[in-house]
Amino acid sequence: MKSVPEFRARKGQAPISMVSAYTHWEARFLAESPVDCVLVGDSLATVLDGDATTFSATPEIVARHTAAVARGLGEPAQRKLIVADFPFLAARRGLAAAIDTAALLLRSGAHAVKIEGVDGHADVIAHLVQSGVPVMGHLGLTPQSVHAMGGYKVQGRDAAAAAELKRQARAVEQAGVFGLVLECVPAGLAAEITAELKVPVIGIGAGAGCDGQVLVMADLLGLGGGAHRPRFVREFAPAGEAVRAGLAAFHAATAERSFPTAKESY
């Protein structure tokens, strides 16, 4: 999938797979894979840097990783759809600042941006969309609001919270998003929102009723490393085991002087 129109057209068709990745080497694997599209998420702050929150990701940092991912995905015309995150508070500095952030991310290789939340910045989303910048929404658990939410918790559990989430979903669609990420939402509620919206809904911890799924590449490969693995993460390949074995083998070969051989020397 190479474009926003292709993404939109998948509503009600085949599910969309999206992977959150930040580096050139990850992007090279993704380029060879059937995965539909790539998100350069601000989760890079937690996954790459070990921060407790995503707050340290700035537009410049996300832009740098977007450029690395774009290079890894190959020539511009061949690239899968790249969505880059608007990081912490970047949608709250007014229209001109949002335009600057969008320009930075799109000049770095993104085709679209993703913005958490909607209340108080629906005008920013609409302004970007009207300026030709495709925007993906993100509702449910929005990590940039972790303190307001009292932690990384499932959202929309009771009737009032579910109704509120549906209201936000309608508002963000009204603002013009081409897709929506729903994070940590009960499966039934996510399926209802997916059925109501005209744009594709991509779930993470939101059940199988969405139009697609997104996971962080390090998580789906078992490289996440953190002490707490969320319930929604499935390890699709045990790459962590391969890494541990590789490091042990390098250490052993160095210790016994079997590496490097003559062929590996000059």
**Nearest to ligand KIV of 73, 251 (CB atom):** 73
Q: Is 217 in the site for ligand KIV (CB under 6 A)?
A: no
Q: Which listed range, 35-43, 144-152, 159-167, 253-261, lies at the site for ligand KIV (CB under 6 A)?
A: 35-43
Give min distance, CB of 184 to ligand KIV, in A.
10
Residue 41 engages ligand KIV in binding (rule: CB under 6 A) = yes
Cα angle vertex 56, ends 53, 59, to 5°? Answer: 125
8-state DSSP, 75 = S
Alpha-carbon distance of 19 to 35, in angstroms, equals 7
Please report where in the chains the tokens 């080497």 appear, as a residue. 25
The torsion angles phi and psi of 212, rounded to 5 degrees, stand at -175, 180
Strand partners, 83: 39, 112
Determine, following the binding rule CB under 6 A, whether residue 177 of this chain makes contact with ligand KIV: no
4, 20, 88, 220: residue in contact with ligand KIV (rule CB under 6 A):
20
The reply to whether 173 belongs to the active site is no
Contact 221, 236 (CB under 8 A): yes
Minimum gap (Å) between residue 7 Cβ and ligand KIV: 15
Residue 112 parent element (H or E): strand 112-116
Q: Does 42 bind ligand KIV (CB under 6 A)?
A: yes
Identified binder of ligand KIV from the candidate list 38, 63, 204, 218, rule CB under 6 A: 204
Residue 211 touches ligand KIV, criterion: CB under 6 A: no
Is residue 181 a contact point for ligand KIV (CB under 6 A)? Answer: yes
Tell me: does residue 39 bind ligand KIV (CB under 6 A): yes
Given 83, 216, 218, 221, the residue binding ligand KIV (CB under 6 A):
216
Q: What's the min distance (Å) between Cβ of 166 and ligand KIV?
A: 20
Share of the chain residues as helix, strand and coil, in percent rounded to the nearest 5: 45, 15, 40
Choosing from 183, 192, 235, 264, the catalytic residue is: 183
Whether the bond between 143 and the residue before it is cis, its omega within 30 degrees of 0, is: no
Task: Give the phi and the psi of residue 234 in degrees, each rounded to 5.
Answer: -110, 135
Q: Smallest distance from the beta carbon of 20 to ligand KIV, in angstroms?
A: 3
36 in contact with ligand KIV (CB under 6 A): no
Residues 6+ apart with CB under 8 A from 66: 40, 82, 84, 105, 108, 109, 110
Q: Which amino acid is at 53?
A: T
Nearest-approach distance from CB 4 to ligand KIV, in angstroms: 17
Q: Which residues share a beta bridge with 16?
A: 212
**Which residues are identified as catalytic?**
183
Residues near ligand KIV (CB under 6 A) = 20, 39, 41-43, 85, 181, 183, 204, 214, 216
